[in-house]
Amino acid sequence: MKATLLLEDGTVFEGESIGAPGTTIGEVVFATAMTGYQEMLTDPSFAGQLLTLTYPLVGNYGVNPEDVESSKIQVEGFIVRELCETPSNWRMSISLRDYLAHNGIVSMQGVDTRALTRHLRVRGVMMGAMSTELTTTELKAELDKAPNYGEINFVERVSTKVAYEWVGDECSKLPHIFSSTEGDGNGKELKRHVALVDMGIKRNIARCLAREGCRVTVLPHNVTADDVLAVKPDGVVFSPGPGDPKMLTSGVETMRNLIGRLPIMGICLGHQMLGLALGGDTFKLKFGHRGANHPVKNLLTGKVSITAQNHGYAVDPDRLSGDVEVERINLNDGTVEGLRHRFLPIFSIQYHPEASAGPLDEGYLFKEFVASLADN
């Protein structure tokens, strides 16, 4: 079945459908990781986006129940150069093609993804429409009616609606055959209680905290500071998530009201929210950072780490409070990758220390956060 991708600037890419039939609209972005397509597909930070993978052959190891990062596929659409039709891996349950089709995701192959990526790097990420059923003229009409990515509060869509205790992967809620569970902290005694504010969490964040011996309470994105304090946590983590951080005024206010009352860790979107809470600003990157190969330098130690990233916005440090310092920067473009409060147990990182799709250089940060809880 033929599939067509139309970008908002009129550029057209044609290919073959590898998912569900239909039409979908979203911001067209690209990610540079060589592996980890399953983690990326189920990452809530990709909500509202048509994800393009730059690696030319995708789907080699199929899909398995252990690597999903949320309850469903989160991307609006999926674009690859070539889908592997003969996947093979001992952990595989179904093929990527079947996974996309069963979850109703409009997807396509046969696209020159290098050309598409170069186009987005030059022109910047933009809205696009992908369809197996509409002409380019009809697609343009649909695209003209659609809101821009930055105008939608995607966090409201992906965050939990009710608070819950982390007890496993909750894979029984998935719309396919997957089912698995994990113990809290792998048998460790639960010594600390962490509130995890769900702006669009990946499950591995909760897993990492549990493995450090923490009881984890997941809270909706719209909680107040009093709501957080009511569950009596030893510290709070603000998770990654999709969209423009400037739309999250209530979440930023909650974080601001918790400063000085609890240790705080912000990850990705949580990092951007901390920047806003501490007087800074944020801005949209031309084409974002998405992939598993981004070098980040710790300005305090000189250490360089290779990190997994997925974000389209960055912190502008010019108006930050004097109580906070920039601790990490991206060596590709110099953008802020980490903040640390000079006097309080508060820090944030722009990348994903929990990511399974790439390097694990920064996994120690969860240990560092949990250690700060013991000191308070």
User: Bridge partners of 235?
Assistant: 194
* C-beta separation of 339 from 268 below 8 A: no
Q: Is 27 a catalytic residue?
A: no
Pairing of strands 336-341, 324-330: antiparallel
Q: Tokens 């950072």 identify what position?
A: 289
364-374 helix and 203-211 helix, angle to the nearest 10 degrees: 60
Annotated catalytic residue: which of 8, 76, 212, 354? 354
Strands (E), 113-179: 126-131, 164-165
Distance, in Å, from the CA atom of 338 to the CA atom of 275, rounded to the nearest integer, reads: 10
Annotated catalytic residue: which of 8, 294, 352, 362? 352
* C-beta separation of 25 from 127 below 8 A: yes
Question: What's the token pair of residue 302?
Answer: 């000189």
* C-beta separation of 266 from 245 below 8 A: no
Q: Is 289 a catalytic residue?
A: no
Annotated catalytic residue: which of 214, 268, 327, 341? 268
Using CA of residue 352, residue 353, residue 354, residue 357, what is the dihedral sign?
positive
**253 CB contacts (<8 Å, ≥6 apart)?**
277
Q: What is the C-alpha R_g of the chain?
A: 20
Q: Is 208 a catalytic residue?
A: no
Residues marked as catalytic: 268, 352, 354
